[in-house]
């Protein structure tokens, strides 16, 4: 509704202008016409791109409109002008509007899909991109960098757009500040729907980045407001604010595995945002603070399980006299009138403290400077189940002043602090995920900090002059905010969650039928193996969601793969989501069971293998460089007589990248796997990376590792989260079963080891510095 | 006149307020009455301190006035309320005014003389100190740190004050930004007269410092306007801007040995200032730029000889990814519409480039990043005598854009640049030091850079919409600005340059008379030695300007000093300026000819020795730690049979301090001086220090250095400017005559060396890092 109202206002404005100067509309249907129309456009001109597919088109939209009479480039019908292939859009000039374009099935041939600049000196000002979609417009590999939207100049706007699926390196949206023409920019990014961004498996996958460390002293004044961030999982920072005076207001962060981070720059305002977590994810975070003078007010944090860097409130330690690209101390920060409901260890202070790593890190990397001159006041914590550590002290909190904060911890004891009072009050669910205080929350003496008189409204827009409730909401009888109403965000013509079609089942009797079914199935379909055996001599290309399963799980079918050496039985393409279940898989000893593409992995793949017996392969799974998988799971599966096991170590540049986010090995049996039984690697000292994740549980490793060159059976070098539990290791000729990283979240328990080397834990790993 | 007008306006305003609320005036004459009056003061109260000496008084002036009705604390008669002894003043509250106080003959017992705060949390806002004087209000030694005026809070003002003579460590005025209460402060420092500040001989002697590196990311918005800086020589930075958005407008920097430096922080405005140099001083500088987004417009630079760091325009190289307290790269800087008249190498770029010192410095100290995205446009250079190098390239200038600049270099060739056009135009003297273009300066096509439309006025306030002259002045027929009219600056009741009294001559015949004359003479007097010989057994205490000379210079008098070991014949006290001429001076072999006090050297001393024969002392001159001399000159003087010579090496903390600024040894003879013949030391890697200065010329050194422990006859370790020329070194048993520092301004020429070791030049000295 709001969106419609806004559009109406825009058109009303345009219409009223018509009265003085008749608006000129030009319909264009090809590149030449478009360029011609652009070059002749004047204030008030509307260029209409006809519906259809516009392929390999690089649009340079330049011109000078006026505030009342912009030059508009719009789709004939919003969403029906498809920009595809090698295409991009650049804008430069004044008062230009782009409306209704749909970028999909392609990628930018340049560094940006949409750029508010033509070149490094010619920028857009007062220009707007609205009502557009960019979907999966990815370059061929994740190491190839681009931006989907790059801001330069001043007073530009991105609103009511939908952006989903960026898988390659580079923030989805970036505001650049180099040059005086781009500071004090007052750009607005509002009412957009940022759809899912898969994890990238390494840095440089923010959804929005504002500036960089080199311009972090510049005033930006960018406003990010009223957007929905839905599962924006790219990396540890959803929004990376790297400049000054930015404002983040009324956004919804929904189950997004990362945080809003004031990474560089200072004096940002984080007001009235919702951070909604997920019981199943320890990676959904809240606000992480670095630097000076930030104000965090009226925010609502719900059900967050993020840890340390991804804590609901993570206030970091800084470095003494930091380099401009490292961690500044938190000083003069105010956190007031926020609410945390059912979050685990919501307040974490001194995050990143690493004084104990002086031996392996240079002084310029030691985060020893804890927050000072910092205030937490009038905040509310409610835990439905008591939390043993609502305040997590990674370092002393003597530089922080706590005033008039309340907590209901259901009577569970914890190490408290003056200024956080324990009280019994109740909360009620106003709408899904949103809990508000009931009338038993007392009208207390709220703390009146410096300039608190400027906090005039609460999260829902209620005045703070009446009532005096701590927490984000000042009215126990507030109406529903409808924060998850999708119509509030993005273009109204695009549905990011269309109704799903029921899957079909394809029963196949022969190798030919199997190959054909895999090729022709719709995403989500099931292929049932009815025959006893299938001999395949070329790879099955998996590029969609597909389940392959024996018809009779009690008597499994066998796929014998006779393809040439180094080819895989299952070729995992971008967007492959393969479930292989209750099947036997046999190779020639020289080929592979599964592998990614060698290049052009423009998006990730997932693989789940259950109740499968895999034998006689050179590799069980080989991940090539630049490939990435979010989920790899082997369950109740036997792997035997293979030269190599699961190989996820092709990212060897030591720049923080890795080949898989989550790897689970559950109740499996590895027998006579000669080397690289599990080889999972992440290199480079990037303290903010919180992946990958490896669970090895209830599995047996026997007579394996006999050719292992580095003497380690399960190699997890650089992986942050590792759990090795309840396994048996029998007669493996290695020096170490595994070497764990004690300083990170690596653990082992209940393992039985016989004649198999040992498990060691090293506190600190020597890693290559990335910065 | 302006000042009077302003005062009139103030009183008129106050008077008009009286009509609604009668102003309450309270006269106080002691501390109890004062404190009582302060504690009872309300809006509009005027507290009048009675004339006289107020000793050892610590005033805490607190209260809440209003904009219309401030609370005023004023002198009964401006300048006749003398604050002396251990005294200070602290203000906190709103709308307080302090008017007419005279701080002299004392020092602060705290860290400040005047502080806009009571403690670390209680600040002043909208408070004003006006019409006051702080004169020589120094702590006992230069290593004892204080500030004369410390700003905290917001919207405070220091105006029409006179401050002279700070000799101890610490900026004269400092604005502090720690805490949100002190950012965006909009303080004003205007119409003050900053009288001479002597060189300190080391860092931390700025006249004004705004912030520090730790708060350099904070917005300050301090305005420094219409002040006179008269010989503010404390250190290399007259004003050290270390925060953002500060403005420096219409100030006059007169023969001040330093620069206006944007040391940290960014986006400062330097507009309409006068920098007036001195033919005799290579230390009077202009503007030195570090960082981002500064704007330097409409400034006038005259007769500046400052070199490198003190160049008329010094644009520095930065460090790659600098630590917050080191050198940031110059980016996005605009230098437009300025005029340089008769300056030597006025434009210096890449200042501080030290890539060639990679061997002796860590990477974090290498200034390799040259200015980028930087514009010099519409500037004017006029040289009465052609300059061989008006553009001094310390590194490549490929990141700088030059547009529409003009130079008249009197036909002398130089390495130019596109965008700096050579033209013949003339200039005329409008008033002393101020030269303006004549009508033959063409109305050229001035360059229209980004936001140049905001440069609406020239240096003199003329509009830039008519005429289009490059340079600071847009009108060839401008009226005189009268920049050196002292009545424009400081309080009108104080005369910083009173008429001097003619010196008296005291003829003395006996030792007693000599001692008495020295004790009783007025500063500037002459003591004439009429007798052949004077035997003194206690030191002559020198604490003023004094000349001691033989009545008959053809037949010199002798002073035999028989005082106890380690005592000096002449005890150099603070403010001593001794000229000793045509006298013989003999010691016992165990006492000293000259020395400073061992402690409490609250100000500097000077010493000139000419036509003197000095013999038989343990030390000729011994400078104790924390003592400092601006000028030491030995001329046509014989020094013989002494154990030590001139010892200026007591500052051994390696923090950049040293014992003497200028040391000259001219046409002297050193014979049988066993060690430390000249020992002059400065320790610590402080790249911005440009002292001390040593000249050794036309002198003979014979049979000296026989007990020298470090094997160097003339030790100049760490001294920046050294000239050793035309001397004879005969039969000195040392390894080196001297070791020079090639990377700095050390040179030797025309020296004759026989049987005396050698002179070596080392390019880079290993120095202790200070930061």
Residue in B closest to A215 by C-alpha: B292
Q: Are B124 and B157 in contact (CB under 8 A)?
A: no
Provide the mean pLDDT of chain A.
94
Q: Which residues contact A705 (CB under 8 A, 6 or more apart)?
A: A673, A674, A675, A677, A713, A732, A733, A734
pLDDT of residue A5 exceeding 50, the answer is no
**Cis omega (within 30 of 0) on the bond before A692?**
yes
Dihedral sign for Cα A141, A143, A144, A146, please. Answer: positive
A651 by Cβ neighbours in 10 Å (0-12 / 13-18 / 19+) ranks as buried
Region A190-219: mean pLDDT is: 96
Decide: residue A485, CB within 10 A, 0-12 exposed, 13-18 middle, 19+ buried: middle
- Average pLDDT, stretch A297-311? 96
pLDDT at B498: 86
Residue B315 and residue B288: Cα distance in Å, rounded?
6
CA distance B755 to B764: 27
Q: What is the pLDDT of residues B275-292, one digit of tens each?
A: 999 998 899 999 999 999
Residues paired with B701 in a beta bridge: B670, B729
**Quick count: other Cβ atoms within 10 Å of Cβ A56?**
12
Average pLDDT for A68-74: 98
Closest Cα in chain A, distance from residue B266 (Å): 7
Q: What digits encode the pLDDT tens for the residues B11-62?
A: 444 444 444 455 799 999 999 999 999 999 999 999 999 999 999 999 999 9
Task: Give residue B501's pLDDT.
Answer: 85
| SS3 state at A694 | strand
Question: Structure tokens of A10?
Answer: 């825009």
Q: Model confidence at A18, in pLDDT bands (50, 70, 90)? A: very low
**How far B39 CA sits from the closest chain A CA (Å)?**
25
Q: What are phi and psi of B694, to 5 degrees?
A: -130, 125
Residues of A in contact with B265 (CB under 8 A): 217
The residue of chain B with its CA nearest to that of A268 is: B218
Distance of CA A371 to the CA centre of its chain: 27
CA–CA–CA angle B201, B205, B206 (5° rounding):
135
pLDDT of residue B12: 43
Ranges assigned E (strand) in B623-668: 629-635, 638-648, 660-666
Contact A331 B178 (CB under 8 A): yes
Mean pLDDT score, B646-658: 94
C-alpha atoms less than 13 angstroms from C-alpha of A70 in its C-beta half-sphere = 24
Q: How far apart are CA A12 and CA A15, in angstroms?
A: 5
- Least CA distance to A295: which residue of chain B? B180
In total, chain A counts a number of residues equal to: 771
Nearest CA in chain A to B450: A181
List the single residue in B with minimal CA-CA distance to A243: B217
Q: Report CB contact under 8 Å: A321, B325.
A: yes
Place of tokens 């393409």: A573
Q: What is the largest CA-CA distance in chain A?
A: 90
Most confident range, picked from A687-696, B93-102, B431-440: B93-102
Q: What is the DSSP string of B537-577?
A: SS-EEE-SEEEEEESSTTS-EEEEE-PPTT-EEEEE-TT-E
Residues in Cβ contact with B699 at an 8 Å cutoff, skipping those fewer than 6 apart: B665, B666, B667, B668, B669, B670, B727, B728
The DSSP-derived string for A275-311 is: EE--TT-TT---EEE-SBS-EEES-EEES----GGG-
Classify each residue of A509-532 as buried b or exposed e, where b means 16 or more C-beta atoms within 10 Å of its C-beta.
eebebbbebbeebeeebbbbbebe
Tell the residue number behind the tokens 């180099």, with chain if given. Answer: A178
Spatial CB neighbours of B618, under 8 Å, sequence gap ≥ 6 = B565, B566, B587, B589, B590, B591, B592, B642, B643, B644
The yes/no answer to whether this complex scores an ipTM above 0.85 is yes
Q: For B222-256, how does the pLDDT look when each residue is reduced to its tens digit (9 = 90+)?
A: 999 999 999 999 999 999 999 999 999 999 999 99
Grouping H, G, I as helix, E, B as strand and the rest as coil, residue A80 is coil
Q: What is the pTM of this model?
A: 0.93
> Residue B258, exposed/middle/buried by CB under 10 A (0-12, 13-18, 19+)?
buried
Question: A245-249: long-range contacts at Cβ-Cβ below 8 A with a sequence spacing of 24 or more?
Answer: A245/A219, A245/A220, A245/A221, A246/A210, A246/A220, A246/A221, A246/A222, A247/A221, A247/A222, A247/A223, A247/A271, A248/A224, A248/A273, A249/A223, A249/A224, A249/A225, A249/A273
- CB pair distance less than 8 Å for B217 and A219: no
Residue numbers in B near A153 (CB within 8 A): none
Looking only at Cα atoms, what is the longest distance across chain B? Answer: 90
B257, B249, B323, B261: which is closest to B288 by C-alpha?
A: B261
- For residue B46, the distance in angstroms to the closest alpha carbon of chain A comes to 29
- Residue A638: its H or E element: strand A638-648
Q: What is the pLDDT of residue A12?
A: 43
Q: Residue A743: is it exposed, middle or buried by C-beta count within 10 angstroms (0-12/13-18/19+)? A: middle
State the number of CA atoms in the 13 A half-sphere of B586 facing the CB. 9
Average pLDDT over all residues of chain B: 94
Residue A2 has pLDDT above 80, yes or no: no
Question: In whole angstroms, what is the distance from residue A400 CA to residue B107 CA?
Answer: 36
Residue-wise pLDDT tens digits, A375-397:
999 999 999 999 999 999 999 99
Q: Which residues pair with A400 in a beta bridge?
A: A374
SS3 label, residue B177 = coil
8 A C-beta contact, residue A181 and residue A218: no
**In terms of Cα–Cα distance, which of A47, A57, A157, A50 is closest to A106?**
A57
The tens digit of pLDDT for each residue in B124-133 reads: 999 999 999 9
Note the pLDDT tens digit of each residue in A117-172: 999 999 999 999 999 999 999 999 999 999 999 999 999 999 999 999 999 999 99
What's the rounded Cα separation, in Å, for the pair A720 and A712?
17
Mutate to test the interface with B, among A185, A217, A293, A371 (most CBs of B within 10 A): A217
Contact A217 B266 (CB under 8 A): yes
- Residues B427 and B382: beta-carbon distance below 8 Å: yes
pLDDT in tens, B477-528: 888 999 999 999 999 999 998 888 899 999 999 999 999 999 999 999 999 9
The DSSP-derived string for B280-314 is T-TT---EEE-SBS-EEES-EEES----GGG-SEE
Mean pLDDT over A456-468 rounds to 93
What is the reported pLDDT for A4?
45
Residues with Cβ within 8 Å of residue A101, at least 6 apart in sequence:
A49, A75, A81, A83, A89, A132, A133
Give the span between the Cα atoms of A138 and A109, in whole angstroms: 10
Residues A93-114, mean pLDDT to the nearest whole number: 98
Looking at the partner chain, which of A181, A217, A293 has a beta carbon nearest the beta carbon of B292?
A217
Q: Specify the pLDDT at position A21.
A: 54
Cis before B305 (ω within 30): no
* Least CB–CB distance from B218: residue in A218, A293, A334: A293
Distance of residue A211 Cα from the nearest chain B Cα, in angstroms: 14
Report d(CA B306, CA B292) in Å as an integer: 23
- Candidate from A178, A181, A266 with C-beta closest to B217: A266
pLDDT in tens, B579-612: 999 999 999 999 999 999 999 999 999 999 999 9
Rounded to 5 degrees, what are φ and ψ at A182?
A: -115, 5
For B265, the closest chain A residue by CA position comes to A217
pLDDT at A372 over 50: yes
pLDDT(A6) > 70 = no
Two tokens, residue A504: 């079909």
Tokens of A201: 């498996």
The number of C-alpha atoms within 13 Å of A396 and in the hemisphere containing its C-beta is 6
- Is residue A751 over pLDDT 80? yes
- Nearest by CB to residue A321, choosing from B267, B291, B324, is B324
With bands split at pLDDT 50, 70 and 90, how would you rate the model's confidence at B357? confident
pLDDT (0 to 100) of residue B241: 98
Assign A689 a pLDDT band (cuts: 50, 70, 90): confident
Helix or strand or coil: residue B698? Answer: coil
Measured at the CA of B542, the angle between CA B538 and CA B544, to 5 degrees, comes to: 160
Distance CA B438, CA B426 (A): 6
Enumerate the domain spans of chain B: 506-622, 649-771
Strand positions, DSSP E, A394-477: 400-403, 405-408, 420-422, 427-431, 434-437
- pLDDT surpasses 60 at A368: yes
- Residue listed under structure tokens 């006090």: B597
> Could you tell me which of B151, B111, B90, B130 has the C-alpha nearest to residue B9?
B130
Contacts of B181 in chain A (CB under 8 A): 450
Q: Are B503 and B479 in contact (CB under 8 A)?
A: no
Q: What is the pLDDT of residue B1?
A: 39
Which residues, including other chains, have CB under 8 Å from residue A485's CB and lie 6 or more apart? none
The three-point CA angle A661-A662-A666 to 5° equals: 160
DSSP A466-492: SS--SSS---TTPPP--TT-GGGSS-T
Which of B214, B215, B216, B217 is the best residue to mutate to test the A interface, defined by the most A CB atoms within 10 Å of its own CB? B217
Whether B4 has a pLDDT exceeding 60, the answer reads no
Q: In chain B, pLDDT over 70 holds for what percent of residues?
A: 96
Q: Do B179 and A451 touch (CB under 8 A)?
A: no
Interface size A-B, in CB pairs within 8 Å, comes to 72
pLDDT of residue A444: 75
């Amino acid at each position: 509704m709001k969106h419609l109202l806004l559009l109406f206002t825009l058109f009303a404005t345009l219409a009223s202008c018509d009265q003085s100067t008749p608006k000129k509309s030009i319909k264009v249907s090809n590149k030449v016409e478009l360029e011609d129309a652009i070059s002749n456009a004047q204030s008030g001109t509307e260029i209409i791109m006809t519906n259809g597919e516009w392929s390999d088109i690089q649009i340079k939209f330049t011109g000078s409109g006026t505030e009342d009479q912009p030059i508009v480039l719009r789709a004939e019908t919003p969403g029906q002008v498809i920009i595809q292939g090698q295409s991009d859009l650049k804008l430069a000039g004044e008062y230009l509007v782009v409306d209704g374009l749909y970028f999909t099935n392609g990628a930018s041939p340049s560094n940006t899909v949409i750029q508010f600049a033509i070149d490094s000196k010619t920028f857009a000002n007062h220009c707007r991109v609205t009502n557009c979609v960019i979907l999966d417009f990815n370059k061929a590999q994740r190491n190839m960098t681009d931006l989907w939207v790059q801001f330069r100049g001043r007073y530009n706007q991105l609103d009511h757009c939908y952006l989903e699926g960026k898988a390659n390196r580079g923030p989805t949206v970036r505001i650049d500040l180099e040059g005086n023409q781009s500071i004090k920019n007052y750009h607005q990014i509002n009412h957009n729907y940022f759809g899912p961004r898969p994890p990238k498996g390494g840095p440089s996958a923010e959804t929005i980045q504002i500036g960089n460390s080199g311009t972090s002293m510049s005033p930006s004044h960018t406003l990010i407001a009223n957007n929905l961030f839905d599962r924006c999982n790219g990396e540890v920072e959803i929004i990376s604010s790297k400049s000054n005076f930015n404002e983040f207001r009324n956004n919804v962060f929904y189950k997004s595995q990362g945080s809003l981070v004031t990474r560089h720059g200072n004096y940002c305002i984080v007001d009235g945002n919702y951070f909604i977590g997920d019981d199943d994810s320890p990676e959904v975070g809240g606000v992480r603070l670095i630097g000076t003078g930030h104000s965090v007010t009226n925010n609502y944090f719900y059900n967050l399980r993020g840890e340390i860097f991804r804590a609901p409130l993570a206030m970091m330690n800084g470095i003494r006299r930091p380099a401009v690209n490292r961690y500044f101390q938190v000083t003069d920060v105010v956190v007031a009138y926020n609410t945390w409901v059912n979050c685990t260890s919501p307040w974490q202070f001194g995050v990143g403290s690493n004084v104990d790593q002086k031996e392996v890190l240079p002084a310029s990397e030691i985060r020893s400077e804890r927050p000072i001159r910092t205030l937490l006041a009038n905040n509310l914590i409610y835990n439905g189940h008591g939390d043993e550590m609502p305040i997590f002290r990674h370092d002393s909190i003597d530089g922080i002043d706590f005033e008039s904060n309340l907590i209901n911890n259901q009577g569970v004891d914890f190490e408290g602090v003056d200024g956080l009072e324990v009280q019994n009050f109740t909360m009620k669910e106003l709408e899904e995920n949103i809990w508000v205080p009931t009338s038993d929350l007392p009208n207390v003496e709220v703390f009146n900090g410096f300039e608190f008189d400027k906090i005039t409204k609460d999260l829902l827009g209620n005045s703070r002059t009446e009532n005096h409730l701590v927490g984000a909401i000042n009215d126990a009888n507030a109406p529903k905010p409808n924060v998850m109403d999708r119509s509030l965000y993005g273009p109204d013509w695009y549905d990011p969650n269309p109704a799903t079609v029921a899957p079909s089942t394809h029963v196949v009797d022969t190798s030919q039928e199997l190959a054909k079914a895999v090729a022709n199935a719709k995403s989500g379909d099931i292929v049932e193996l009815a025959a006893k055996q299938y001999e395949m001599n070329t790879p099955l290309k998996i590029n969609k969601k597909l389940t392959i399963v024996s018809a009779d799980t009690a008597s499994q079918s066998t796929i014998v793969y006779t393809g040439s050496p180094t080819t895989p039985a299952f070729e995992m393409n971008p967007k492959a989501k393969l479930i292989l279940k209750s099947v036997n898989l046999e190779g020639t000893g020289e080929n592979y069971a599964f592998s990614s593409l060698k290049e052009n992995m423009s998006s990730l793949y997932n693989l789940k293998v259950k109740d499968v017996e895999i034998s006689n392969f050179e590799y069980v799974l080989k991940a090539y460089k630049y490939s990435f998988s979010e989920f790899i799971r082997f369950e109740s599966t036997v792997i035997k007589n293979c030269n190599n096991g699961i190989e996820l170590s092709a990212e060897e540049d030591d720049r923080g990248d890795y080949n898989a986010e989550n790897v689970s090995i559950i109740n499996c049996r590895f027998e006579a796997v000669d080397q690289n039984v599990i080889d999972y690697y992440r290199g480079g000292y990037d303290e903010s990376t919180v992946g990958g994740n490896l669970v090895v549980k209830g599995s047996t490793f026997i007579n394996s590792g006999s050719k292992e060159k580095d003497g380690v059976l399960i190699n997890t070098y650089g992986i942050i989260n590792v759990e090795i539990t309840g396994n048996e290791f029998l007669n493996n000729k290695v020096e170490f079963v595994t070497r764990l990283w004690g300083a990170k979240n690596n653990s082992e328990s209940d393992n039985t080891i016989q004649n198999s080397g040992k498990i060691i834990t090293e506190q600190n790993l020597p890693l290559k510095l990335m910065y």
